[in-house]
Amino acid sequence: MTVDLVVMGGRVYVEGSLFEAGVAVDDGRIVKVAKEAHLPNADLKVNASGLLVLPGLIDCHVHLRDQGLAYKEDFYTGTCSAAVGGITSVLDMPNNVPPTNSKEALLKRMERARNRVVVNVGFYVAPPEKPEALKDLLRLGAFGVKLNLLRPIGGVDLTPPRIVKVLGQASECSIPALIHAEDRFMVMERSPKDLYQLAKAHTIKAERKSVAELLTLNTWGAKLHFCHLTSSTSISLVCKARRSRIPVTCEVTPHHLLLGLDSLKKHGAIAFYEPPLRGLRSVIGLQRRVASGDVDVIASDHAPHDPSKDKEVEDPFKVAPGSPGLEVMVPLVMTLVTRGLIGLERAVAMMSENPARIFGIKRKGSVKPGYDADLTLVDMKLEGVIDPAKFKSKAKYSPFKGWRVKGLPVITMVAGRVLAERGEVYAKGGEGRILRRSYCG
């Protein structure tokens, strides 16, 4: 038997442990994981000597822009950014222009992405104007419905009755509801005069209240996924709900995990996020929650902007929140692993196994026969410096500029094809796949 490809010489991550082994790939799937002597012959061999062979890493929270926001990012540049960052699959948020909240909008977005993406891409949707239209969106393979309680998407007012209805439909279709948990009325009641005061207006109390409200409104028992939580107290509510057998998960971002509010003073608008950066106590609390296993996912919240149009403005309310994150997430997390702050098992769970499980991404998140040959090869001894000028993203800025990192992705593979190696993209647009979630309703 001769297969298409063998990855050999590395240490393969299989269900929580590392093994000196190789991976045989045929027709885009893993067919065998074994010692080199027991692997079949192959048309092509990839030398993974000195590298960890991890299941393809998944970023379940990205904003790929394109369409009316293509000046910030497009499907090709965004997925090239993912590829060099060691990410094999991404899930795209719906707050686009036009918003992804109708059957027509979702189909157009999928079609536009089809011949442009380099890695695998799936899509979320926002609640449509007509509540009964949500199921039609979900039948097309959306991976979840996003409820942004701070900035409702597409002009749909998320009143408690509407939220309950959306959660009921999500429960019926067995898909997650993703929550941006900030009480907008608590945020709006303040009158900030500058960006720092605006960040302070987004209080932890507003986040915690929103988390508590959604858990109370979830009478249907829908799967809830809280995006980019910033405080240990919010995560404690999630943990309490889990103990009551409520299906709820949560994520944190590298910027909330590693940057404090002082970064906003240092970097200005490029370090402004929603929810914002917090104080040192919150940062330490998040790190402890991640290390303990209370956090399910680390996601980048890749949110690229054109700094000249979106960041360099005087009115703090017009500053676009977010920064590009696809090229820094894996190096930052692996640096935490090399420093002993997070175990490798936790890192792989949060960036591969758990996203695949939570969002129902089939045949992803593990290195074993029958799974797609999506692999991320990491050199845990390789060091580097974050340089936004070298980003593949259109957005060439980052509050992590100049940070030293150790543990870098060097080869990214999707379906057994090498998409990127050591910062260079070898794939063409269209080599990534459009992912669709199976409809259960």
- Residues known to be catalytic: 301
C-alpha 121 chain-centroid distance: 11
E strands, 15-156, are: 17-26, 29-34, 41-47, 52-55, 57-62, 87-92, 120-123, 145-148
C-alpha 272 chain-centroid distance: 18
Distances (CA, A) of 359 to 29, 183, 211, 233, 407: 20, 25, 20, 25, 27
Residues paired with residue 336 on neighbouring β-strands, in sequence order: none
Integer Cα distance of 362 and 219 in angstroms: 28
Distances (CA, A) of 186 to 179, 207, 209, 216, 363: 17, 9, 9, 18, 42
End-to-end CA distance of the chain: 42
What residue type is assigned to position 368 of the chain? K
Integer Cα distance of 7 and 423 in angstroms: 19
Q: Which helix (H) or strand (E) holds 83?
A: helix 75-84
Three-state secondary structure readout of 261-280: CHHHHHHHHHHCCCCCCECH
State the alpha helices, DSSP H only, in 295-362: 329-338, 344-348, 354-359
Q: Which helix (H) or strand (E) holds 14?
A: strand 2-14
Q: Is 104 exposed, middle or buried (0-12, 13-18, 19+ CB in 10 A)?
A: exposed
State the alpha helices, DSSP H only, in 204-320: 204-217, 232-243, 254-258, 262-267, 280-292
Contacts (Cβ under 8 Å, ≥6 apart) of 185: none
E strands, 134-238, are: 145-148, 177-180, 224-226
CB 126 within 8 A of CB 94: yes
DSSP 370-433: TSB--EEEEEEEEEEE--GGG-SSS----TTTT-EEEEEEEEEEETTEEEEETTEE-PPTT-S-
